Structure 1
Amino acid sequence: MELKDLRYFLAIRETGHLGRAAISLGITQPALSKCIQRLEKIYATRLILKVGRGIRLTEAGVLLCDRVQKIVQSMEETQREMKSLSEGTAGYVRIGAAATAAEFMLPQLARELLCEAPDVRIDVKVGMNDFLQNMLRENQLDIILGFLPDYDTEFVRRPLLDDPVVLVASADHPLAGIHPTPEQLGKFNWLLPSRNVATRQWLEQRLQGGGYPPPRIQIETNSLATLRSVVVETQLLSFLSRRCLQALESVIPLVEIPMPLLVMPRTFGLQFHSLSELSPVARQVVQIAERHWRYE
């Protein structure tokens, strides 16, 4: 049985006449009659009866039309959905985002993606880079939006913007506005991410190379973004995004401690396995991000 035979049968019901149905379908009446014969042979029952110059569906014919209508509607809906998936205007994408990227980049990315692909579903995981890379490695994510480690060659990297990390403290901290000496810096404790995070490793190496004491960690966290207020309310030092610091300047009283030694160059961007492995909607995410943030 072919789908076109079922479509032809629906046309017969809609017109109530073989000749008019054949004209609407662009086929000959004998060809339409053969279609009915094929269907009646498949279902082993009469489907239409001649009534005067017209036709009438049998009870079996009415039942078949009802079922066929549902099949055709389902096929058309499936065709529309498949077209949307292939064009990247629908589907499902799993994005891992660093906290800073989730706060300052993801909203813009999501807005543009939802405008272009209103039926897309997005699953977002926020975390440190090592956590997100493990998820990407295990195929639990499609894309990471976060900072790009210099040493990493495991994934495809697409840079988007520069965002250095700097030494910060509360606005009323004793070191505010001061380029601290090793002795001055050594008097204060720190709030930092775990030791396996790249920014923490870089910070410790720079302090050691510059003749400064290693940071005394008083609070260790997996999310600096959620603990910024702790830095404000204490004399703890921390290491945060300059972009984040500037964006929140009027809301959270944190300041950058002027210490060029501890300005960590950092580039934010996308990481994924390969462009060819991404779904159409995931490729759409890459295209939107690169269009919005033109990295030079």
Structure 2
Amino acid sequence: MDLRDLRYFEVIAELEHVGQAAERLHRTQPALTSSVRRLEEVCGAPLFERSGRGIKLTAAGQVMLKWARRTRLDVEEARREIGDIGSGLSGTVRIGIIPTAAQFLLPPAVRQLIAEAPKVQLHTVVGLSDVLQPKLRSGELDMTIETESAGEPGITSQFLAEDPIVVAASATHEVFLSSPVLKDLCAYRWVLQPPGAPTRDWLDQTFERRRLPRPQVQIESSMLLMLPALIAETGLLSFISRHHLQAGQLGSGLKEVNVKGTTMRRRMVVTYRESSYLSPASNRLIALLAAAATRNA
């Protein structure tokens, strides 16, 4: 079984179209068709079937796709591990990271890593878990730094830090003139992430459990790093990581609104595939991220 045939098969399966796969791979359609036929001869079963103007995987094809991906990852990681023998802290680390961790944990960890290993290269993808997890599973990323979620087969997690999410406002906001309770927050307008974001859904449900209307959202923003500036400039309430309120940060002019039951306890973790190879540089970065998390706690 040729590794190139497996790689071509993966792309055809992803696009569900031989012509489009040929364009991406810079191969001819007959070459890709021959590649699929060779795999079908080895498997003894058809891997694709017609579907409208394209094709789709058969049951046998779905099984083959699972093993093709696993085989490719194993070969790629074997090459990386062999290449790292005797090279120490070097090579490329591919990391996916959520915005809060990218702002507060990554910079000091990377500063130390580069000081120790000037030849290390870092490829980063900043996004939320719905973007990062598929890239981790496909092998595009070595690891991710994100908030803890339900366990998934083949994926392991290592705790880094607590990341409490709290109600916050400008330090001069009128909400601080009294000692508010949850019901009092219904009188104010908010800047929040869109529905579907874990923090937004958690806050909405907190109000609903107390039979209160959801927060009045005047501004929705999916750009987390914009929230501290928006809170300061607009006088709106928001729901953000407590890290933003630390001295020296953009949100240091903001203040936590201490209302019982409005602190969302999140755990930040590093995740990676259980069977994957983590280079010495990757392991060192994990240790430095854990140290940075401890300092920020």
Please say whether Structure 1 and Structure 2 have the same fold, judged by a TM-score greater than 0.5: yes
User: Is the Cα contact below 8 Å between 1:177 and 1:257 reproduced in 2?
Assistant: no
Shift of 1:177: 5.4
State the alpha-carbon separation in 2 of the partners of residues 109 and 275 from structure 1: 25
State the alpha-carbon separation in 1 of the partners of residues 250 and 142 from structure 2: 35
1:103 aligns with 2:116: no
Partner of 2:253: 253
State the alpha-carbon separation in 2 of the partners of residues 174 and 137 from structure 1: 47
- Percent sequence identity is 33
Shift of 1:83: 6.3
State the alpha-carbon separation in 2 of the partners of residues 252 and 96 from structure 1: 27
Shift of 1:291: 5.3
Amino acid at match of 2:190: W
Amino acid at match of 2:122: I
Partner of 2:227: 227
User: Is the Cα contact below 8 Å between 1:127 and 1:222 reproduced in 2?
Assistant: no
State the alpha-carbon separation in 1 of the partners of residues 157 and 148 from structure 2: 7
Residue 241 to residue 182, structure 1, CA distance change in 2 (3 Å): closer
Partner of 1:266: 266
1:236 aligns with 2:200: no
Partner of 2:196: 196
Structure 2 unaligned residues grouped into runs of 5+: 1-81
Residue 135 to residue 207, structure 1, CA distance change in 2 (3 Å): farther
State the alpha-carbon separation in 1 of the partners of residues 103 and 250 from structure 2: 16
State the alpha-carbon separation in 1 of the partners of residues 221 and 135 from structure 2: 19
Q: Secondary structure at the match of 2:235?
A: coil
Residue 86 to residue 189, structure 1, CA distance change in 2 (3 Å): farther
TM-score by length of 1: 0.63
1:174 aligns with 2:174: yes
Q: Secondary structure at the match of 2:95?
A: strand
State the alpha-carbon separation in 1 of the partners of residues 246 and 214 from structure 2: 27
User: Is the Cα contact below 8 Å between 2:156 and 2:272 reproduced in 1?
Assistant: yes
Question: C-alpha offsets along residues 155-179 of structure 1, whole Å, 9 cap, x if unaligned?
Answer: 3111112121100111222212544
Q: Secondary structure at the match of 1:213?
A: coil
Shift of 1:105: 0.7
User: Is the Cα contact below 8 Å between 1:85 and 1:280 reproduced in 2?
Assistant: no
Partner of 2:65: none
Amino acid at match of 2:113: L
User: Is the Cα contact below 8 Å between 1:191 and 1:220 reproduced in 2?
Assistant: yes
Residue 85 to residue 217, structure 1, CA distance change in 2 (3 Å): farther
User: Is the Cα contact below 8 Å between 2:228 and 2:250 reproduced in 1?
Assistant: no
Partner of 2:93: 93
1:129 aligns with 2:129: yes
User: Is the Cα contact below 8 Å between 1:169 and 1:257 reproduced in 2?
Assistant: yes
Runs in 1 of length 4+ with deviation above 6 angstroms?
A: none
Structure 1 unaligned residues grouped into runs of 5+: 1-81
Amino acid at match of 2:159: P
State the alpha-carbon separation in 2 of the partners of residues 221 and 122 from structure 1: 28
Q: Secondary structure at the match of 2:91?
A: strand
The number of aligned residues is 215
1:187 aligns with 2:177: no
Shift of 1:223: 1.8
The structure with more radius of gyration? 1
Instruction: Judge which range, 151-160 or 283-292, deviates more.
Output: 283-292
Partner of 2:148: 148
State the alpha-carbon separation in 2 of the partners of residues 134 and 126 from structure 1: 13
State the alpha-carbon separation in 1 of the partners of residues 190 and 164 from structure 2: 19
Amino acid at match of 2:118: P
User: Is the Cα contact below 8 Å between 2:246 and 2:252 reproduced in 1?
Assistant: no
User: Is the Cα contact below 8 Å between 2:97 and 2:146 reproduced in 1?
Assistant: yes
Shift of 1:243: 2.1
State the alpha-carbon separation in 2 of the partners of residues 189 and 265 from structure 1: 23
Residue 248 to residue 121, structure 1, CA distance change in 2 (3 Å): same
State the alpha-carbon separation in 1 of the partners of residues 123 and 249 from structure 2: 30
TM-score by length of 2: 0.63
Amino acid at match of 1:222: S
State the alpha-carbon separation in 2 of the partners of residues 266 and 205 from structure 1: 16
Partner of 1:288: 288
Amino acid at match of 1:107: P
User: Is the Cα contact below 8 Å between 1:142 and 1:278 reproduced in 2?
Assistant: yes
Residue 241 to residue 279, structure 1, CA distance change in 2 (3 Å): same
State the alpha-carbon separation in 2 of the partners of residues 135 and 178 from structure 1: 47
Q: Secondary structure at the match of 2:176?
A: coil
Residue 86 to residue 218, structure 1, CA distance change in 2 (3 Å): farther
User: Is the Cα contact below 8 Å between 2:228 and 2:251 reproduced in 1?
Assistant: no
State the alpha-carbon separation in 2 of the partners of residues 266 and 199 from structure 1: 10
